[in-house]
Structure 1
Amino acid sequence: MNGQDIMWTDRLTTALFVVVGAINLVPGFVAVAPSQITTAYGVSIAGADSADLTVLLRHRAVLLGLVGIGLLCAAFIRSLRVPALSAGAISMGTFLLLAYTTSGLNDANMRVARIDIAAFALLVLAAVLVLRKKA
């Protein structure tokens, strides 16, 4: 590859990490805005078990936020790329596995799954570019 191809590939890789990082970071706001849980996931946080469900979903939001921050950092710190790719793939991959092996999910959760499919595809492309550069 010539210098211009390397620069283009580096910029694309950085952009992919930023986009996938942002996709993972956005749900993290549920941690500080639990009123958005119903909008995000289509589940009611009212009722007898609402406190338990709210804590679990807010904790999920924190973990997604951490993955998002890791991916955003990896966009600019090359040494973090492989660990961030791994964390992102495990996070999104397990959600997709659970979502598509569980019947009866609501439309909001299926929307989240479709977004994760797109983000996972972008993450795979980023991984190909990172691994290609290492070779």
Structure 2
Amino acid sequence: MSIEIVAVTLLVVVGLVNAAPGVVAFSVARTRVAYGVDVDDPVLTVLLRHRAVLLAIVGIGLIVSAFVTSMRVPAIVAAAVSMTSYVAIAGSTKGVNQQIRRVLRADVVALVGLGAAGALLAS
């Protein structure tokens, strides 16, 4: 298997991890499953739905960048900033629930995959 195929596969997988929360934009009820919270506040609903759209954009950007080489650097940087900021914020916040810790661990694993893809593409 070539380095390019491994890197492209990693970009697609990490893109899917980032895009998956996008479902919350269409189904607020999914926030309970994803984050372990009930959303009764309309303002919080708007914020979570908007966050879901932004995550989907980052994920779709990564997936597209797997096939459009000119998009790779911006997509990788955007995804790295997004996931690193979540890891930093969630990791430094006391009292987060198990679902938030699960998402944090998933982002750490995805960051490793993203770093590996970037390193493979740079070689």
Q: Give the TM bin, normalised by the shorter chain.
A: over 0.9
Give 2:31's match in structure 1, choosing from 23, 28, 37: 37
Give 2:108's match in structure 1, choosing from 100, 112, 117: 117
| 1:71 counterpart residue number | 62
| 2:88 counterpart residue number | 97
TM-score, normalised relative to structure 1: 0.89
TM-score, normalised relative to structure 2: 0.97
Please, which runs of 5 or more residues in structure 2 have no aligned partner?
A: none
Give 2:12's match in structure 1, choosing from 11, 14, 18: 18
Counterpart Cα distance in 1 of 2:15 and 2:86: 16
Give 1:86's match in structure 2, choosing from 74, 77, 82: 77
Moved >3 Å (runs of 4+): none
Q: How far off is 1:72 after superposition? A: 0.4
C-alpha offsets along residues 9-39 of structure 1, whole Å, 9 cap, x if unaligned? 0100110000000000110111011110111
| 1:4 counterpart residue number | none
Please, which runs of 5 or more residues in structure 1 have no aligned partner?
A: 1-6
Q: Is 1:59 matched up with 2:50? A: yes
Q: Which amino acid aligns with 2:33?
A: T
Q: How far off is 1:52 after superposition? A: 1.0
User: Sequence identity of aligned pairs in percent?
Assistant: 45
Q: Which amino acid aligns with 1:120?
A: L
Counterpart Cα distance in 1 of 2:111 and 2:38: 28
Counterpart Cα distance in 2 of 1:118 and 1:125: 11
Q: Which amino acid aligns with 1:118?
A: V
Q: Which amino acid aligns with 2:32?
A: T
Q: Which amino acid aligns with 1:114?
A: R
- Structure number with higher relative contact order (C-alpha < 8 Å, ≥ 6 residues apart): 2
Q: How many residues are treated as equivalent by the alignment?
A: 123
